[in-house]
Amino acid sequence: MSDTPANQLSLDEQVAWLMQGTEFGDEELARNMARELRERLAEGRPLRVYCGFDPRTSDLHLGHTIPMRKLRQFQELGHEVTFVIGDYTSLLGDPSDKDKLRPMLSEAEVASNAQTYAQQAFRILDPDRTHIRRNSEWLSKLSLLDVIKLAQNFTVQQFMSRENFALRLEKGDPIYLHETLYALMQGYDAVMLQADVQVGGTDQLFNILTAGRKLQEVFGLRPQIGIFLKILPGTDGVAKMSKSLGNHIPITATPQDMYGKVMSIPDSAIIPYFELATRYTPARIAEVKRRLAEGVNPRDIKMELAREIVAIFHGDAAAQQAEAEFVQVFQKRGLPEEMPVLNVTSPITVVDAMLVLNFASSKSDAKRLIAGGGVYLDGRAVKDPNEMLNPPQVLQVGKRRFARLERA
């Protein structure tokens, strides 16, 4: 994690570590949250920290693990961490980061997805120091009158001022009444857990601060601190990591695949990845920034990053092996580290892949290139235009066109 054990960090160092990778959108709010966090840490007791995860998918990628990484930091400092599976809120669906109605899942879909969530989360979290709760434990017991009493603490104007709702209202898109209930449900989670700290993405400002802190005060509790994390960019370095965009890094990926995907990120994404997806403290990240500023090859820094991320999920030995294979395949063969990625979801031939990647203008053009000996898979000349891809592989067409083929 760092050269200094977590339990030996000063109070200021603890605050800096826990605030690393955060984004509040307002400097005064950031200062207030840091001040409140420092005050509670100074009490010298384990804080009650939680994050809720709605199991709307069964496969997690690196972007999903960013709040888990923050929970792990709290664990390293001796605090009480609760991993909340939002099996009840998932039935509704959080509208916070959506500009349109989010489809509702069935109970069967939620239950199926939830089965794998905790197991995958323990690749980051310490299972011996993690409480697993499902918010159906308390939300399913609320009566209609209970919900009305929760709702009376908020105005319609508060909900309509939310950016995503305001945009939909401006466009004339419908906003359904049930969508306003999600914030109340999440706020009630904080009440039932008597949370000191709630971790979430930047899209959770309303749910955590407006709803959560308000309801805690209504129930006579000390309002929680919000820790809001930046969004991890995908392997393109621009858009939010997403399976649908094909720029994701599955946490179940093989060490070699994971290492290669991290090496494919642009240099501009190196520091955000260190801040959000590694065990590095602010002091170590400052050292990384210093080395980059002094002209150290970003490739070497990126290899350090890839080695760290693979080690988190697969262990040090697997990370070292993945690095050795990467060096053998890419550096010793003179292959570029940054290249487009084609996620292969179904059987596909070399010719079809060339067309998808725009490496050929037509099937006949692709076959001509193959016949001329200008197409390679992992350095081997392709002879059969009907050869099926078997990712992970590197496709090369001519001297300058390369693509990384991955199994989606």
Q: List the domain boundaries for the chain.
A: 6-229, 255-331, 341-407
Q: Is the pLDDT assigned to residue 276 strictly greater than 80?
A: yes
% of the chain residues with pLDDT over 70: 91
- Burial class from Cβ neighbours inside 10 Å (0-12, 13-18, 19+) for residue 127 reads exposed
d(CA 48, CA 337): 43
CB-based contact 239:233 (threshold 8 Å): yes
Average pLDDT on 329-344 reads 76
348-403 pLDDT, tens per residue? Answer: 999 999 999 999 999 999 999 999 999 988 878 899 999 999 888 889 998 778 89
Q: Is the pLDDT assigned to residue 187 strictly greater than 50?
A: yes
- Cβ atoms within 10 Å of 366's Cβ, excluding its own: 23
Average pLDDT on 340-353 reads 89
Average pLDDT on 181-206 reads 93
d(CA 361, CA 299): 33
d(CA 188, CA 211): 8
Which of the two residues, 88 and 112, has the higher pLDDT score? 88
Write the CATH number of the domain with boundaries 341-407.
3.10.290.10
Write the CATH number of the domain with boundaries 255-331.
1.10.240.10
- pLDDT value at residue 1: 40
Q: Which residues contact 222 (CB under 8 A, 6 or more apart)?
A: 196, 216
Residue-averaged pLDDT of the chain: 87
Strands in 297-373 per DSSP E? 341-344
CATH class of 6-229: alpha beta
pTM of the model: 0.76
